[in-house]
């Protein structure tokens, strides 16, 4: 009797367990179905996954680890968003197939000097560094700290399993429109009448190689004119070149010399800007004083200013700072031509 009762109770206990599992299975199917329907609907409406965050430290460290060492044919691109949007990596590789090109620029992190110093301190690196710089970023208080956390992550947290972790993270965050949809933020803004439930159309896409393809949708009708007169200041009212700025240039020169001592080369590029952005830059850091000081103090590097390159004058930055993705291949070819003219390639 005890044995049969025990068997009956055991069988009875299994019934709600199976029912519970069946309910969770049905719920899982419903969730997957809703996710699939939402994904298909968003893509049918013209939305596309924007790609994972281009400024993630893990993805940056992955590409930093891929930089060819002991090879003079390695090309490393550093800077901020202008370098990521203006330079088209497939075009660069097509024109220079004998070189390995690595994109290490970091969007929204202005000064690339920490990365330049890291490459200079790498005894095995002897390639070409193309750096997008401005006087404002170098003279700023975070001129060395802006990208230092990325270097520290690569030096301290990147390990043998990081490539697999990076690939999995990319697969999850860049493959779906739904994953990029912030339901809580959409709800909060919707209740306040400041938005709708549909995700905004993506104006940029971040690729795994860390290139950003910026698409300025209807920008011409909304943006201010891209070209205005440059503000002219008298010599007596121009801000003086500070001693701290000159000291920073000397530190940059030290890094450049270390790379050149191993057979490498460094090119400092002032990317094209227009309109209000260029005028503000001229007010704060007049080119004939600040850029000339940079070219004089960092004499071991090749300095290229966009105003000195005739082929770069034809490009228009819709937001006064970045090129549209449709112009980046042509600009990349003109950049390579200028690098060859300067005997950097």
Query: Model confidence over 29-60: pLDDT tens digits?
Result: 888 787 777 767 766 665 666 555 545 899 99
Q: What CA–CA distance (Å, rounded) separates 231 from 276? A: 10
- In the block, tokens 């609907």 appear at 41
* pLDDT mean over 5-24: 61
Q: What CA–CA distance (Å, rounded) separates 285 from 186? A: 41
Q: Which two tokens stand for residue 114?
A: 């920490």
Q: What CA–CA distance (Å, rounded) separates 276 from 282? A: 10
3-class DSSP state of 132: strand
Q: Which two tokens stand for residue 173?
A: 């965050």
3-class DSSP state of 109: coil
> Buried b vs exposed e over 61-97: b needs ≥16 C-beta within 10 Å?
bbbbeebbeeeeebbbbbbbbbbbbbbbbebbbebbe
- pLDDT score at 45: 62
- pLDDT score at 333: 98
Which residues lie below 8 Å from residue 246, measured CB to CB, with a gap of 6+?
293, 297
- pLDDT score at 130: 98
- pLDDT score at 42: 66
CA nearest to 129, candidates 190, 175, 83: 83
- pLDDT score at 191: 64
Taking the CA atoms of 136, 141, 143 and 145 in sequence, report the sign of the dihedral they define.
Answer: negative
Of 66-70, 109-113, 217-221, 290-294, give the lowest mean pLDDT range.
217-221
- pLDDT score at 268: 98
More confident residue, 195 or 157: 157
Whether residue 131 contacts residue 104, with contact meaning beta carbons closer than 8 Å, is answered with no
- pLDDT score at 274: 86
- pLDDT score at 206: 80
Whether residue 105 contacts residue 210, with contact meaning beta carbons closer than 8 Å, is answered with yes
Of 116-120, 203-207, 306-310, give the lowest mean pLDDT range.
203-207
Flag whether the pTM goes above 0.75: yes
3-class DSSP state of 197: coil
- pLDDT score at 226: 41
pLDDT above 80 for 147? yes
- pLDDT score at 224: 43
Q: How confident is the model at residue 5 (pLDDT cuts 50, 70, 90)?
A: very low
- pLDDT score at 2: 47
pLDDT over 70 percentage in the chain: 74
Q: How confident is the model at residue 292 (pLDDT cuts 50, 70, 90)?
A: very high
- In the block, tokens 């709800």 appear at 187
- pLDDT score at 213: 86
Q: Which alpha helices (H) appear in 121-224, and where do they start and end? A: 135-139, 148-156, 162-174, 183-191, 219-222
Supply angle C-alpha 224, 226, 227, rounded to 5: 125
The residues that bridge with 305 in the sheet, in sequence order, are 270
Query: Model confidence over 101-134: pLDDT tens digits?
Result: 999 999 878 899 999 999 999 999 999 999 999 9
Q: How confident is the model at residue 181 (pLDDT cuts 50, 70, 90)?
A: low
Of 182-191, 294-303, 308-317, give the lowest mean pLDDT range.
182-191
What is the rounded average pLDDT for all residues in the chain?
82
- pLDDT score at 203: 66
Query: Model confidence over 210-246: pLDDT tens digits?
Result: 888 888 765 553 444 444 334 444 445 566 788 899 9
Which residues lie below 8 Å from residue 263, measured CB to CB, with a gap of 6+?
72, 126
> Buried b vs exposed e over 246-271: b needs ≥16 C-beta within 10 Å?
eebbebbbebbebbeeeebbbbbbbb
Query: What are φ and ψ of residue 203, in 5° steps?
Result: -100, 0
């Amino acid at each position: 009797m005890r044995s049969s009762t025990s068997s009956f109770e055991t069988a009875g206990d299994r019934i709600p367990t199976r029912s519970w599992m069946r309910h969770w299975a049905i719920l899982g199917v419903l969730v997957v179905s809703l996710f699939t329907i939402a994904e298909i609907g968003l893509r049918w409406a013209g939305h596309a996954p924007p790609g994972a965050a281009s400024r993630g430290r893990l993805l940056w460290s992955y590409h930093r680890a891929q930089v060819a060492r002991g090879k003079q044919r390695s090309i490393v691109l550093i800077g901020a968003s202008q370098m990521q949007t203006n330079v088209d990596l497939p075009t660069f590789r097509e024109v220079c197939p004998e070189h390995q090109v690595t994109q290490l620029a970091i969007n929204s992190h202005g000064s690339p000097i920490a990365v330049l110093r890291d490459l200079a301190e790498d005894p095995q690196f002897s390639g070409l560094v193309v750096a997008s710089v401005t006087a404002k970023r170098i003279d700023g208080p975070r001129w060395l700290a802006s990208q230092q956390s990325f270097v520290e992550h690569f030096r301290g947290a990147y390990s043998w399993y990081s490539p697999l972790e990076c690939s999995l993270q990319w697969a999850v965050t860049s493959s779906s429109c739904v994953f990029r949809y912030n339901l809580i933020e959409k709800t909060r803004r919707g209740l306040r009448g400041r938005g709708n439930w549909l995700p905004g159309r993506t104006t940029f896409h971040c690729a795994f190689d860390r290139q950003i393809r910026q698409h300025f949708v209807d920008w011409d009708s909304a943006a201010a004119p891209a070209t205005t007169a440059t503000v002219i200041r008298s010599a007596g009212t121009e801000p003086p070149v500070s001693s701290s700025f000159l000291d920073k240039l000397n530190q940059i020169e030290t890094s450049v010399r270390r790379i050149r001592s191993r057979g490498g080369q460094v090119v400092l590029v002032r990317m094209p800007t227009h309109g209000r952005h260029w005028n503000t830059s001229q007010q704060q850091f007049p080119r004939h004083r600040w850029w000339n000081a940079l070219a004089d103090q960092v004499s071991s590097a090749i300095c290229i200013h966009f105003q000195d390159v005739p082929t770069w004058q034809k490009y228009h930055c819709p937001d006064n700072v970045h090129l549209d993705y449709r112009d980046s291949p042509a600009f990349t070819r003109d950049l390579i031509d200028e690098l060859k003219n300067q005997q950097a390639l």
